[in-house]
Structure formats: C-alpha cells, structure tokens
Amino acid sequence: MGFVKVNDRTIPKEDKVFAVSGRAKAAIAEKGKDAVVDATIGALLDDNGDLVVMTSVMEAIGMLKPADYAAYAPIAGVPEFKEAVQKALFADYAPKGHVAVCATPGGTGGLTHAISNYSNIGDEVLTHDWCWANYKGIADEHGRSIKTFRFFDEDGKFDSADLKVKLDELAAKQDQVLLLINTPAHNPTGYSLTDEDWDNVINIVNAASCKVVLFVDIAYIDFAGEPDEVRSFIPKLEGLGDHVLVLFGYSASKTLTAYGMRCGATVCLAKTAAEADEFTKAVGYTSRSTWSNCNRSAQVVMGKIYSDAALCAKVDEERKMYRDMLLERGKVFEKTLRENGTKSVPFTAGFFITIPSDKPDEVCKKLEEQDIFCLALAKGIRVSIASISKEKCVKCAKAIAELMK
C-alpha cells in the first residue's frame, strides 16, 4: 500500500476502505448494482442499495429556521441538545452521579476528547484486539498508541482474563489507563458484551491499581436490539469504584441515519461534581482548539425530536423498522455461514459481521473476482451487512464459506 512519513507519523498513502469501496463503485458503474455486492459501506442502505434516510428526521429538519443553520452553537452544545443526548443515551434510567455533555462532530469527536484528555502523550490506550481502525489513527495523531487485549478466548467468549492481564500491565507503568470498549453491536464483529461480561469488566476495573477512564463507544446502540435490553449495562456502571470515570461516546450519525450532519457527544458520568466540572472544562478546551463548536442545526434537530414525544415515537418506530431489517440480515448471514460450514467471530447485532481468516487479503481478492467487495482486516474479512440486502447476504456468506474451504 505504501506510507508517507509526516512529522514522525507513518501515514498510509491510501485509506483501505476508500480504496476497496472505489473498486466496488467502479464495478457497479460497469455492471450495474444488481450484479455487484458492495459490502464495504459503513452506512445503512435499504434493499435497493439506497441510503436509508428517515422521513421522521427529515420532518424535524423541516422545522428549522435560518438562524438554526447560521448561528454558532455554544462549545458544549445548545441546552436542548444536551438534554436530548441524555434522553437518547439513558432512556428512562436516571443515572446516579454527575452527568455532563459536550457536543462533538460525530462519535469520532468523542474518541478525540477521551484520548487527548484522559491519556498522556506517550501513553498506551487499552482496547480490544478487534477494533475500529480509527482508534489507532486517533491515538497516533495525538502521540499515543494502542495496546490491545484479546476480545475473545478460544471458546469464543469475551476474554476478561486477558483484559485483566493487559490492564494490570498498564497500571504498573501509567498513572491512569484509558480503556475503550465498543459495545453494543461492536465494529467490526457485531458483538455486544453480555451482562456477565460487564460484571467481569466492572470487577477487573475495580481491582485496578490506578485511575481508569472507561470510555464506552456506543455508536451503534440504536441498531443493536431492543432499546431497554441494549441499555441494561448502564445501571451496572454504578458499581464502579471512585477511581473510575465513565465516559460515553454517542453518535447521532447512526441513531438518526444522518452521518453527514456530523453530530455526536461525549457524555461523562462522574462520581463528583468536581470531576464532571473538570471534564466540561477539559473537553471544551479540546473542542475549542480543534474543531471549535459543532453543527448547530443538527443539535436543534436532536432537541426537537427528543422534546416532542409524538415526533420521538415516530422516529423510534421508523428506526425500529430499519433495525429489524438489519437484524434479519444478520440472522440470515449467520445461518448461511453455518449451513455452509463456516463461523463468524461472535456476532450479536449491528452493521458488520467479521469472518476470521489467516489470509484475508487473498480471500477478499478472490471475492472481488466474483464482484463481491468486503474489507480485509488483519485477522478476518469484514462484511457490512448494513449495506447489502438479505439476498446479497446469502450470496456473500455462501461465497465466503466456499473460499474458506
């Protein structure tokens, strides 16, 4: 692929996702979209291959006034937005502790907030070995690096034992550890930590010998399953000790299928008012000195949706329809793999399924010969079931299973 060196950073010449998705687009232009399976796109498409745009969200956008687009927003976000994010995140649960919210340009901004404020230059940031590639990029950009624990053990269970080993290793050499966990509907595996996994995480983090900042990346939460069930881990976090600070990375990109509006938030759930206040000052400073304030119109849209019970119900209902479509694709994909003698990395729900492979580049190359475009990761093949129909899920799963033989 090739790299360029700029200011000591090793920058790939080409983004792997954009490269493969460019080849998929070229194949579609030549052969038509029915002939091509483009499972590279990290956005939800309907069964015709068109981007899902929720009409209920468009209704809220239609209520905006010119000044909602034109005016600056406060750094932390407009008050209605900050309220809306708490409703979107906590639903009916009233968290004990001190909550603070800061707007970000999508869930990506939350990761920047967390890494720049809750790790030091030169630190290692801990996360699972299967992870969104951008974690490494954001850490690198800030002079940090990523250390990983094994996400799954030999039995395909969440590997809490390895989390403990890696956390203790870092605690022995750093004053604090930033732990990034992406759940529910993790990218790229689709795994959601179970309640038992969470109990293990909480015990391990509680036993750590240094301050731990636990950042839960919930970018896909609204496509992970039943809203109450996928939020069942949140009250458990009350069991964390005083040396642990909880942050959530919220993304409206997925929740509202509005990726281009660049709207998200970092939410802090602190034990003390002083810690929450420090969070507000620190992440606000990062915002101001990077992207400054965020898209006001998107924040007003969030505010309108979550303050209007009827409109919110409409958005929920419309999203449920698409969520069910996505969950069905996942079931069909898994079933087809199973019937053809192959298994994915443990999958619960979400935009992606990953099939483990020790020759991912080779398999993806052969798939491309059949006009099936997937992303080759270091240890597997990532399929975006968000971007292909149920029929294409069957075709893709069969082709992968065949190549695995």
- 37 sits near ligand PLP (criterion: CB under 6 A): no
> What distance in Å separates the CA atoms of residue 233 and residue 243, rounded to the nearest whole number?
19
For the CB of residue 217, give the shortest distance to ligand PLP in the complex, in Å: 5
- 350 sits near ligand PLP (criterion: CB under 6 A): no
Cβ distance to ligand PLP smaller for residue 90 or 291: 291
For the CB of residue 352, give the shortest distance to ligand PLP in the complex, in Å: 8
Give me the 180-199 binding string for ligand PLP, x by CB under 6 A, dash otherwise. --x----x------------
What are the backbone dihedrals phi and psi of residue 39, each rounded to the nearest 5 degrees, phi first? -100, 40
For the CB of residue 298, give the shortest distance to ligand PLP in the complex, in Å: 11
- 253 sits near ligand PLP (criterion: CB under 6 A): yes
Stretch that binds ligand PLP, among 65-73, 83-91, 100-108, 119-127 (CB under 6 A): 100-108
- Contact between residue 152 and residue 131 where contact means Cβ atoms under 8 Å apart: no
- 222 sits near ligand PLP (criterion: CB under 6 A): no
Other C-beta atoms lying within 10 Å of the C-beta of residue 140? 16
Q: What is the dihedral of CA 135, 141, 143, 147, to 10 degrees?
A: 20
For the CB of residue 131, give the shortest distance to ligand PLP in the complex, in Å: 8
Classify residue 187 by its DSSP letter: T
- Phi-psi category of residue 375: left, alpha or beta, with phi > 0 → left and psi -120 to 50 → alpha: beta
Of 33, 168, 206, 259, which one interacts with ligand PLP (CB under 6 A)? 259
Classify residue 50 by its DSSP letter: P
Stretch that binds ligand PLP, among 102-110, 140-148, 170-178, 190-198 (CB under 6 A): 102-110
For the CB of residue 127, give the shortest distance to ligand PLP in the complex, in Å: 10
Bond before 66 cis per omega within 30 degrees: no
For the CB of residue 167, give the shortest distance to ligand PLP in the complex, in Å: 20
Distances, alpha carbon 6 to alpha carbons 10, 112, 212, 365, in Å = 7, 20, 32, 30
> What distance in Å separates the CA atoms of residue 214 and residue 249, rounded to the nearest whole number?
11
- Interface with ligand PLP (CB under 6 A): 42, 106-108, 132, 182, 187, 217, 219, 251, 253, 259, 264
